Amino acid sequence: DVKVTQSSRYLVKRTGEKVFLECVQDMDHENMFWYRQDPGLGLRLIYFSYDVKMKEKGDIPEGYSVSREKKERFSLILESASTNQTSMYLCASSFSQGLRNTIYFGEGSWLTVV
Amino acid sequence: KNEVEQSPQNLTAQEGEFITINCSYSVGISALHWLQQHPGGGIVSLFMLSSGKKKHGRLIATINIQEKHSSLHITASHPRDSAVYICAVHFGNEKLTFGTGTRLTIIP
Question: What DSSP string describes A25-82?
Answer: ESS--SEEEEEEEETTTEEEEEEEEEETTEEEE-S--TTEEEEEEETTEEEEEESS--
Judging contacts by C-beta atoms under 8 Å, the chain B residues touching residue A99 are: 30-31, 50, 90, 92
pLDDT tens column, A37-89: 998 888 999 999 988 989 999 999 999 999 999 999 999 999 999 999 999 99
**A90/B41 Cβ within 8 A:** yes
Q: Looking at CA atoms only, how far is residue A14 from chain B in angstroms? A: 23
Collect all residues with Cβ–Cβ distance below 8 Å to B50 and sequence separation of at least 6: A99, A100, B29, B30, B31, B32, B63, B65
pLDDT at A101: 67
Q: Looking at CA atoms only, how far is residue B91 from chain A in angstroms? A: 10
What does pLDDT average to over chain A?
91
Higher pLDDT, B29 or B62: B62
- B35 pLDDT band (50/70/90 cuts)? very high
Taking the C-alpha atoms of residue B21 and residue B100, their distance in angstroms, rounded to an integer, is 12
